Amino acid sequence: MQNSFLYQVAKVFTENFDNLRGHLFVFPSRRSALYFQKYLGQCSAVPVFSPDIVTIGDLMGKLSPWRTTDKIELIYILYQHYCRVAKANGMKEVESFDTFVNWGETLIADFNDVDKYLIPHDRLFANIRDLRNLDSCFTDFMTPEQIEAVRKFWGVVLNAADKGKTEYFVKTWQLLEPLYTSFKEDLAARGIAYDGMNYREVAERIKAGNTQEMESYLSRYRQVVVIGQNALSECEKCLYDYLMKAHNGDFYWDFYYERLKDPKNKASLFISDYIGRYPGRFTIEAETVSEPEIEVVAVSSGVGQAKVAARYLSGMTREQLDGTAVVLPDEQLLLPMLNSIPENVREVNVTMGYGLSGSGLASLFTMLGNLQTRRRNGCFYHKDVFAILAHPIVKGMAGEETAALRGEMLQSNVTYLGARHFDSELLARIFAPVETAEETYLWQLGILDMVAVNLPPVEQEFAHGFYKVISRIRDLAIPMEQRTYFHFLGEMTSSIEVSFRGEPLRGLQIMGPLEVRAIDFETLIVLSVNEGVFPSASRSDSVIPYNLRRGYGLPTSELFDSISAYHFYRSIYRASKVILIYDSRTRGIRSGEESRFIKQLDYGYGLHIERKTAELQIKPIEGVVSRIDKTSDVLDKMKRLFFEGVPKNIDGEEKMIRKPFSASMLLDYLKCPLMFYYKWIEELSEEEEISEGVEASEMGTVFHDSMQDLYDNMTASGDKDITAAKLDGFINDKTAILGIVAANMRKVMKMDGNARLSSRNSITCEVIADMVHQTLCRDREMVPFEYVASEKSILREITISLGEDEYKALFKGKIDRIDKMDGHRRICDYKTGSVEELGSYISNDGKTFDFLDAVMSAEKKTSFQLLVYAWLLSEEEDFYLSVYKVKSLFSEGVSKSFCPKETTGEFASRLMPVMEGIFNPEVPFAPGNDVSRLCPYCPAKALCGR
């Protein structure tokens, strides 16, 4: 791009110098330095040696006597000094390393600012201490109005806390000055530093005239050239003043766009001062550049912005892509953008950092931390195990074994996974207990080694980032507990970004806003151009109040806004086309408002902007169907399932087994034919989960089994007559009832016979025992009666007519209890949940038919179920039907309804057409009508799109 700023600078220097080896070029970023080298080659007629090129941060590091170290080591050293200084200042309690991590990052960032801007730290920290004293002491005698006035004026937070907290609060701020001093002295003694410390050391040496060591580096160059800088710190100004005087300092500022010089534009905050104070040796004539073609696109989606950007990229040639940059102020859109890259884009270079915490590996490492910290007696908690088994990385590498292990745990209802043999080396490594932090480092690094080779290129960058962080923590040998280590690792990965490697000078460039510094592109696509995102509304935490920051000349929100404005206007100056995309949704604290930059271009400068709105096309989810037609394939499958049978292995012998109909199956069909199809024909079921306690359905099973055991015990001698004396034997022995219930609970939960129930399950056991006891009390009110059977399974063969053909099918039922009283058998149904009223079965004046109309529409599922049981037992017999509403037995008794054989026969005549209708090819399996009541809880709702 020959009209770009860096190209023009490179052209001037190649025209005026045959050899640039005696020059040192200083850039704001490594990316801009690479582009400058590229343009030097393009402007030179013959091959030339590259001059020395550094960033301003690198230059400060070379001039300083100390080595810049990483954040992890800095925080640990700072914590050591915090503990010493706190105790020396009389603080009895200090923050743990866990809680200090966040505060430590904030302190280091503030120390960095204090040093870069050459602030007299003793005065600043004294002012902070005094303001915090105001915060804690004035509330004793000030009115709320006075507190608010002081708060607004000084920018402090006045809070009437208790005295103990107040003293701790005040002492904490008194630590800042001694902590800053001792921390820096220790770093200097170790020969290491943070950026600001290097900057200040260089500036103070220049001020003191102590430049001998710096000259040993700078004297090799006849000239130092500074290109494309902006928003200088006081230390940088001090260095540039020195370079002007001692090393022919030459400066080139990219301030050519007239919008940048507009006093009303915040981007102009520092421009005039720099041009006059730091001039350039050569004049670079700004070419006349027409205003760019600007499009503003509103998208009602976050990820949708990446899709819109991909549309623009899809129509570009390779040459156009070489001059195109996608700028992402919101780094969370990096992965959606990479996943949206169209096929015509062959080369992509990512020039921005992406937080480790946003990667798939981060979620895996969080799960690994939970796995170890929630261990009990060397066993892993099932929820942590399942989470890891379902993670895409683990599932992709050990898919078959993860499925098998999950199925095994579900079948055995194992809540804690103990030691076992693993076929997969990865699972064996993951499910290995580790105790100390030292063991945990090696454990995590071993897992990284295994998974990294199978990761896609982007995730491999994240794996490399995790490897460096974990290795660094290990090498520092920080003494801490395992739980503290996991917390520390989480905090570090949340603030560390991974830089991606790629071809920096060719193909599509994906960049952050700061990476565009000094670089120009023909086409610029900027995402997330929302107010609060670009420019950002968030500012990093600080222990320095705003008014003190402003008073001492430290960076404030005004400076950050100015920097953002400069980068924006400078980047669009030489572009031919600018596409600004923003998220128009209003959600949370984001209003969906376009950035002030768009408004300034439109209303402030009156530039022509083409506004567009991206419409998101909602496509039906693949696989969603509104109904299932009974095609010949579907009907054939149903006939095999219900009439012919499917082969199953039973006791080593293969037999043809027909699926029997049941009351619950027909109720499903009456409620929703489509759900019936998925559940009973396709045999789709909800995913099983391990139960730590007794669920509602399991609670019912325990109750049923306990009632069966009790009545079987009462009639074990063969005497089936139930008398008051027999019932009193158990009613008066609650311990025996509790023992029977506990045994059935262990059986349902797949526990060993002598296993101890948890506190929660013990309480549930007591509740069920009370319900059993009350049921026996209600039965005593109906003695005498004859006990027939409990949990009676019935299987009846029926004939279903389909046109001229007849088919044999099975119908099954399981009756909770059958007894006999007043000359008739009684069908009893236990209901531990909610149940509707049973209603009347007496056939007179058409009442039976009215009742059956309701029953056949599945409105009375209990009545339907009891009539099915009566029909299965006999169509030629009168019955009593009783429902035990267990929860209501404490306040009401058990009623019995008389069901004559005429009602059973009429019910059967209505039941058969329903079953025949299931096979009617003219009637599809369509969704039910009761959408509001049934669909919200239906496991198959995702399949029908409701």
Q: Confidence class of residue 889 from pLDDT cuts 50, 70 and 90?
A: very high
> 646-650 and 609-614 as β-strands: parallel, antiparallel, unpaired?
unpaired
pLDDT above 70 covers a percentage of the chain that reads 88
Residue whose token pair is 């897992």: 447
Q: Confidence class of residue 541 from pLDDT cuts 50, 70 and 90?
A: confident
Rounded distance between C-alpha atoms, residue 322 and residue 310, angstroms: 15
Whether residue 649 has pLDDT greater than 90? no
Rounded distance between C-alpha atoms, residue 267 and residue 265, angstroms: 5
| Model pLDDT, residue 157 | 41
DSSP-derived secondary structure for 377-418: TTBEEHHHHHHHHTSHHHHHHSHHHHHHHHHHHHHHT-SEE-
| Model pLDDT, residue 525 | 97
Q: Is 764 left (phi over 0), alpha (psi -120 to 50) or beta?
A: alpha
Whether residue 24 has pLDDT greater than 80? yes
Residue whose token pair is 């510094």: 517
Six token digits for residue 610: 């083409």
**Nearest CA among 501, 496, 487 for reference residue 467:** 496
| Model pLDDT, residue 444 | 93
pLDDT, tens digit, 9 for 90 and up, residues 577-632:
999 999 998 766 567 899 999 999 999 999 999 999 987 665 555 555 678 899 99
| Model pLDDT, residue 837 | 67
- DSSP symbol at 578: E
| Model pLDDT, residue 713 | 93
- Mean pLDDT: which of 194-203, 683-692, 754-763, 845-854 is highest? 194-203
Q: Confidence class of residue 691 from pLDDT cuts 50, 70 and 90?
A: low
The mean pLDDT of the chain is 86
| Model pLDDT, residue 241 | 95
Q: Confidence class of residue 155 from pLDDT cuts 50, 70 and 90?
A: very low
- DSSP symbol at 640: I
- The lowest-confidence range among 410-414, 608-612, 674-678 is 410-414
Q: Is 652 left (phi over 0), alpha (psi -120 to 50) or beta?
A: left
pLDDT, tens digit, 9 for 90 and up, residues 348-367:
888 777 778 778 888 899 99
Whether residue 89 has pLDDT greater than 90? no
pLDDT, tens digit, 9 for 90 and up, residues 38-80:
999 999 888 888 899 999 999 999 999 999 998 889 999 999 9
**Nearest CA among 744, 672, 547 for reference residue 933:** 672
Burial class (CB in 10 A: 0-12, 13-18, 19+), 371: buried
| Model pLDDT, residue 148 | 57
pLDDT, tens digit, 9 for 90 and up, residues 793-852:
999 999 999 888 899 999 999 999 999 999 999 999 999 887 776 666 655 555 666 677
pTM exceeding the 0.75 threshold for the entire prediction: no
Question: When comparing pLDDT for 711 and 698, which is higher?
Answer: 711
Whether residue 755 has pLDDT greater than 80? no
Question: Do 800 and 915 touch, CB atoms closer than 8 A?
Answer: yes
Whether residue 152 has pLDDT greater than 60? no
- DSSP symbol at 657: E
pLDDT, tens digit, 9 for 90 and up, residues 504-513:
667 899 998 8
Residue whose token pair is 């109309």: 853
| Model pLDDT, residue 624 | 58
Q: At what angle do helices 56-63 and 234-246 cross, to 10 degrees?
A: 70
Residue whose token pair is 């991206």: 614
SS3 799: strand
| Model pLDDT, residue 159 | 45
- DSSP symbol at 291: P
Distance from chain centroid for Cα 707: 46
